[in-house]
Amino acid sequence: MVVIAITGSPGVGKTTISSMLASQGWKVNTVAELAKTFDCEGDYDELMGCVEIDIHKLAERSLMEPNDNLIIDGHLAHFLAVDAIVILRCEPSQLRARLESRGYTQSKINANLEWELIAGTWSEIVEFDIDVPILELDSSTLSAEELIKRLLDWIDGDFKQDSTIISNAIDWLGK
């Protein structure tokens, strides 16, 4: 059994992909659900419009030994004890449109676009020396079905084929 984090900026397709995997028999938990279960929720952040999560406390409390293949869906999922990480990315102009369609405030849209532009998830993975196989996928160029196929092929190949290293990561600023 494997535990896979599906992470990335809000709006890149994490929940869509996780839901599709759930329909194929994968168990799915969200970081928000886990935070509630393990009493790791903080205050409500008015600026970002969400509840803060103490991800470090959650990482300590939520060590999982699944009986089923497990997906953890959330932009902080890469901080949890997982066997592998899938980072979904999205071209910034497409991401802006997705976030606007959700009714996000301009400040929340800008903060999330900045995070995507600077590859913030990769920065955290490097900063915290997270050492598991990583697959980076571009949800702005691949359909949900193509993303699922690449992810499942990667898992079936024991995370070796197509793994991504930071030097090969998407660079929106360099394009």
* Each residue's pLDDT tens digit, 129-160: 999 999 999 999 999 999 999 999 999 999 98
Domains of the chain (ranges, CATH numbers): 3-164 (3.40.50.300)
Q: Which of 90, 106, 101 is nearest to 144 (CA)?
A: 90
SS3 37: helix
Question: What are 73-115's pLDDT values in tens digits?
Answer: 999 999 999 999 999 999 999 999 999 999 999 999 999 999 9
In angstroms, rounded to a whole number, what is the distance separating the alpha carbons of residues 98 and 151? 22
Q: What is the pLDDT of residues 1-14, one digit of tens each?
A: 899 999 999 999 99
Beta strands in 40-148 (DSSP E): 41-45, 50-53, 70-73, 84-89, 134-138
Mean pLDDT of all residues in 33-61 = 87
CA distance 175 to 162: 21
* pLDDT (0 to 100) of residue 132: 95
Q: Looking at residue 64, what is its pLDDT?
A: 65
pTM metric for this prediction: 0.92
